[in-house]
Structures are given as structure tokens and as C-alpha cells.
């Protein structure tokens, strides 16, 4: 091999060796840093420090601050810490709490904010991936703030907590907010804007219990008990799912959103059950009993399928084109079963059971809607309990068309009225998984403290969001596992470094 070739080879080996050395050093430092974090210290309040804030100030990232029974002042968290009270019944924080760091866990505390403090918000979260477990918050004004319009946060998890306020329970701008097994009472949730809220197995009350802004998307609201004095759920934005909830109060669901699925809810309200003002939503398998309209539409391309509806009117369509109303049980409505105003057209109604709706079973003021399905394979109208026409040929369709009420002077008919209902009025209505409010009692969390003298183990709760089940993970065991990996990685790193040095020395010794 020529001299120039050897020089090029030497330079190439130096470059490779330097790159590998940098990678190995970086990996080793990261593993070492991770090991330091897992080998977290436990700081005890009031044994080690008299106040929670003093313990936070003296803590290192990754430390655990445990708090025994007592009354404490508010605090600010500026590091990645776990702050765990002995019990949310006996550990009371009087004052405001602010979380400015990422990956902070706060559990088993009661936070009380009184007007005399001068603060307006009990808990302000400005960091990402905050976890609240078993926290009780009582505020004279606002309870929980999640970021700001200019500083949207993500990854907040609230479990087994109880939140009560004089103005707004939870509000702010966020992404990936999850609330499980919690109780939010008095004023409700006002999330604006927020992407991807997951609200499950909770009890929510307020004037408007749950509300969102125009820029919200991807809400999942299911298996909750929701009571809104004015409105249970008010949603703007798009692509939400509302399912398996029990909703009571004034108005059930007010929807100014697109692409929403409303499924298998039980809604009992004094006002409108569901009000829709946008397009392309699906309302399916709900049981709605209302003092006003069970469903009110003012949008296009919506589908109302397989619902059980009773109220002043079953379905009231103020404006809208291309909506489908099919296979619903509409019974004992106060004025009319399904009503179309003169500002409607091209809506399709078929397969429904109209069961003894008072005054009118149906009314169409535009004359531009179709009350039956007719295509190459299907000829299907609706069942009308007041229709007494016979079915002499036994084809399932009465021998005379059914006339729809109107003030237009037009003849509006169901060409294929059914002799028997497709949806039996005697069936058991579909219901949600439970009509009782979910159990949301915060758990009593206890923390054992690890010291050099006692050699007891520190346990910190790890939550499983889908089930709300607590398990214990031993800090000592986790630390040992990380330390083992650290030692192995360090040994491998040393071997690699020695091998690289050996190659470089051999290459240099052969010019």
C-alpha cells in the first residue's frame, strides 16, 4: 500500500474513532444522568424542612417531597419533582400553587384558596406532563389554570381529584388533557383552545358543565355524569366523540362543531336535548327526554339514527339540507314528531316509528323533503300510529299513502307507510352503561420514607389511567436496575474506547 493510501486510511480511521468516541461519551453521560435522577432523594416536610417551598428550593430534579399532616402555605415548583401528601384530608395548602417545570407529580393534598390571599387561581400549571392524583382543590374564584393562549401546555393528567370553585373549575389552553375518575363541581370546564381532551368516568356540574372554543379538536367525553344548569356540554371545533354519558339539566348538548359522533347517551333535560348548528354530525342510539325539542337541527348533512326521542317535538329542523332521519322511535311528543320549516329541503325521513305524537305526527312547511326511501332495491316509509289504512296484500306497506301535515297547500305524502313498526315502541330503550354518577372518591395515599438508618423502602404511586388502579413501584429496585445498565454500558464503553485507541496506535505505527 502506498504512502498516500496509508495516510488517507489513517485519517479515515481517526474520523471514525472520534465519532464513535463522541457517541459513547454522550451515551455514558446520559445513562449516568438517568441513574442520578432515579437515585432520587426523599425530602420530608416538616422533618427536614418546615415548609413545602423550602423543601422544593433545596431539592434536586427527580427528588420526592413527602408532606405530613398540617397546614402549609402555597408554593411554586420550578424543578421536576414528586410532591406527595400523607392524605388529602389532613395535608392542607392554604394559598396558590404554581407548577412551572415539566414532569411534575402532585398527589394527596388539599389546596384551599381564599379571597384574602390576593390570588385568583388556586393551581396554575405552566409545565408539560403534570400529573395530579388525589388532589382536592377549593377556590373562591378559579380552581385550575392550564397554560395560556400564548403558552399552550400538553400532557396534563388529573385523576381521582375533586375540584370546586366560585367562578371556573378548569380553564386554559392545552393539548392532551386527560381527566379520569374525578369530580368537578360548581362551574365546570372551560377549555379554549384545546386539542385532545379525554374526559372519562367523572362527575361534572356547572352552569355550562363542559365547554370548548372554536379551535378545539378531538375531544373524547364518555362514561360521565354531567349536569349543566344552563347547558351540559357546549362544543365548538371538530371531530369530537360524546358517548355513554348521563346528561341532565337545562340543555343537554349544544353543538357548534363538525364531524362529531354523539352515541349512546341518556339525556333528560328541561330544554332541548341536543342542538346542532353545523354539518356532518352523527347522532345515534341515544335516549332523549326533553321539555323542549329532543333534537334541534340547523345544519346540513347530519344523520339522526336509531334514537329514542320524546319531548315537545321529536326533531325540529329549523334550517338544513341533506339530513337523514331514520330508524328512530319518536313517541308521545307534545306538539309534533318531526317538523321541517320552510327553510329546509332534500332531507330524507324513513324507517321511523311515530308513536302517538300529540297534535301532529309530522309537519313539513317547505314541501321539499322526502318522507320515504325509494331506490332500485328499497321502498321504505315510516310507521304512523294514526294510520289506519289496511295492508290487504300483506307486503308490509299499507294500501294508501300517508299525508303529512303542512300549511303550504301542497300534497306531501309518505308513499310507503309501514303496516308494522320497524322499531317497536315497547322495546327497552337503549341506555348507557350506568345511570348513576361514577364513583370518584380520591384514594387515601400513604408514603413510606426511606432513610439510611431504617432501610425502609420508598413507594410512589403509579397510576394506570384507563383503570385508575394504583400499584407500587420501589424506588430502590428501579435505581438498582438503572445502575446495573449503567455499569454494563460503562464497561462496554471502556472496551470500545480501548479498541479504538488500539486501532489508531497501530495505524500510526505503520506510516
> Average pLDDT for residues 369-373, to the nearest whole number?
96
- Would you give the end-to-end CA distance of the chain in angstroms? 10
Q: What sign does the dihedral 46-48-53-59 (CA atoms) show?
A: negative
Q: What's the pLDDT band for 200 if we cut at 50, 70, 90?
A: very high
Interval 224-252: pLDDT, tens: 999 988 999 999 989 999 999 999 999 99
Q: What sign does the dihedral 218-229-338-418 (CA atoms) show?
A: positive
Residue 382 reports pLDDT greater than 60 = yes
Interval 96-137: pLDDT, tens: 999 999 999 999 999 999 987 778 899 999 999 999 999 999
Q: Taking the complete model, does pTM exceed 0.95, yes or no?
A: no
Averaged confidence pLDDT in the chain: 82
Residue 203 CA to residue 69 CA, distance in Å, equals 28
Share of the chain above pLDDT 70, in %: 75
b/e code 357-382 from CB counts within 10 Å (16+ = b): beebbbbbbbbbbbbbbeeeeeebbb
Strands 379-380 and 373-374: antiparallel
Query: How many helices (H) does the chain have, and how many strands (E)?
Result: 3, 44
Interval 40-77: pLDDT, tens: 799 999 999 999 999 999 999 999 999 999 999 999 99
Residue 104 CA to residue 100 CA, distance in Å, equals 9
Higher pLDDT, 486 or 339: 339
> Average pLDDT for residues 71-95, to the nearest whole number?
97
Write out the three cell numbers for 213.
372554543
pLDDT of 198: 94
Residue 473 reports pLDDT greater than 70 = no
What are the phi and psi torsion angles at 308 (to 5°)?
Answer: -110, 120
Is residue 136 within 8 Å of residue 157, measured between CB atoms?
A: no
Write out the three cell numbers for 39.
437515585
Amino acid at each position: 500500500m502506498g504512502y498516500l493510501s496509508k495516510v488517507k486510511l489513517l485519517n479515515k480511521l481517526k474520523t471514525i474513532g472520534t465519532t464513535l468516541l463522541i457517541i459513547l461519551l454522550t451515551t455514558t453521560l446520559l445513562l449516568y444522568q438517568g441513574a442520578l435522577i432515579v437515585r432520587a432523594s426523599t425530602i420530608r416536610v416538616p422533618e427536614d424542612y418546615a415548609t413545602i417551598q423550602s423543601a422544593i428550593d433545596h431539592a434536586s430534579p427527580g427528588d420526592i417531597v413527602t408532606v405530613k399532616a398540617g397546614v402549609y402555605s402555597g408554593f411554586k415548583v420550578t424543578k421536576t419533582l414528586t410532591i406527595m401528601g400523607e392524605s388529602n384530608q389532613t395535608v392542607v395548602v392554604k394559598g396558590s400553587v404554581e407548577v412551572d417545570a415539566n414532569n411534575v407529580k402532585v398527589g394527596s393534598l388539599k389546596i384551599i384558596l381564599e379571597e384574602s390571599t390576593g390570588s385568583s387561581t388556586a393551581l396554575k400549571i405552566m409545565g408539560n406532563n403534570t400529573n395530579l392524583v388525589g388532589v382536592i382543590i377549593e377556590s373562591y374564584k378559579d380552581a385550575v389554570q392550564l397554560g395560556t393562549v400564548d403558552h399552550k401546555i400538553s400532557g396534563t393528567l388529573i385523576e381521582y381529584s375533586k375540584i370546586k370553585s366560585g367562578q371556573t373549575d378548569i380553564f386554559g389552553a392545552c393539548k392532551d388533557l386527560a381527566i379520569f375518575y374525578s369530580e368537578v363541581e360548581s362551574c365546570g370546564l372551560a377549555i379554549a383552545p384545546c386539542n385532545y381532551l379525554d374526559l372519562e368516568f367523572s362527575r361534572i356540574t356547572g352552569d355550562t358543565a363542559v365547554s370548548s372554543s372554536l379551535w378545539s379538536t378531538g375531544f373524547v367525553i364518555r362514561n360521565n355524569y354531567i349536569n349543566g344548569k344552563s347547558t351540559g356540554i357546549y362544543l365548538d371545533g371538530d371531530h369530537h366523540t360524546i358517548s355513554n354519558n348521563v346528561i341532565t339539566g337545562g340543555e343537554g348538548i349544544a353543538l357548534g362543531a363538525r364531524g362529531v359522533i354523539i352515541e349512546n347517551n341518556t339525556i333528560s333535560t328541561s330544554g332541548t336535548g341536543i342542538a346542532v348548528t353545523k354539518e356532518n354530525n352523527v347522532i345515534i342510539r341515544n335516549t332523549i327526554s326533553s321539555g323542549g325539542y329532543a333534537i334541534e337541527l340547523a345544519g346540513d348533512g347530519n344523520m339522526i339514527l336509531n334514537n329514542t326521542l320524546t319531548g315537545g317535538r321529536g326533531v325540529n329542523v329549523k334550517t338544513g339540507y341533506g339530513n337523514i332521519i331514520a330508524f328512530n322511535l319518536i313517541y308521545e311528543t307534545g306538539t309534533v314528531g318531526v317538523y321541517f320549516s320552510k327553510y329546509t329541503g332534500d332531507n330524507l325521513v324513513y324507517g321511523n316509528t311515530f308513536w302517538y305524537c300529540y297534535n301532529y305526527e309530522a309537519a313539513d312547511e317547505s314541501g321539499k323533503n322526502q318522507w320515504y326511501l325509494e331506490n332500485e332495491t328499497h321502498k321504505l316509509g315510516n310507521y304512523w300510529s294514526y294510520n289506519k289504512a289496511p295492508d290487504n296484500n300483506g307486503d308490509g306497506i299499507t294500501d294508501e299513502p300517508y299525508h303529512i301535515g303542512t300549511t303550504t297547500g301542497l300534497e306531501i305524502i309518505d308513499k310507503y307507510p309501514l303496516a308494522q313498526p320497524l322499531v317497536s315502541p315497547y322495546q327497552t330503550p337503549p341506555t348507557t352503561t350506568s345511570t348513576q354518577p361514577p364513583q370518584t372518591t380520591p384514594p387515601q395515599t400513604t408514603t413510606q420514607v426511606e432513610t439510611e438508618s431504617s432501610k425502609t423502602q420508598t413507594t410512589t404511586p403509579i397510576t394506570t389511567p384507563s383503570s385508575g388502579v394504583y400499584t407500587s413501584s420501589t424506588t430502590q429496585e428501579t435505581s438498582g436496575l438503572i445502575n446495573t445498565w449503567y455499569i454494563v454500558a460503562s464497561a462496554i464503553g471502556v472496551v470500545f474506547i480501548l479498541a479504538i485507541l488500539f486501532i489508531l496506535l497501530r495505524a500510526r505505527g505503520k506510516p
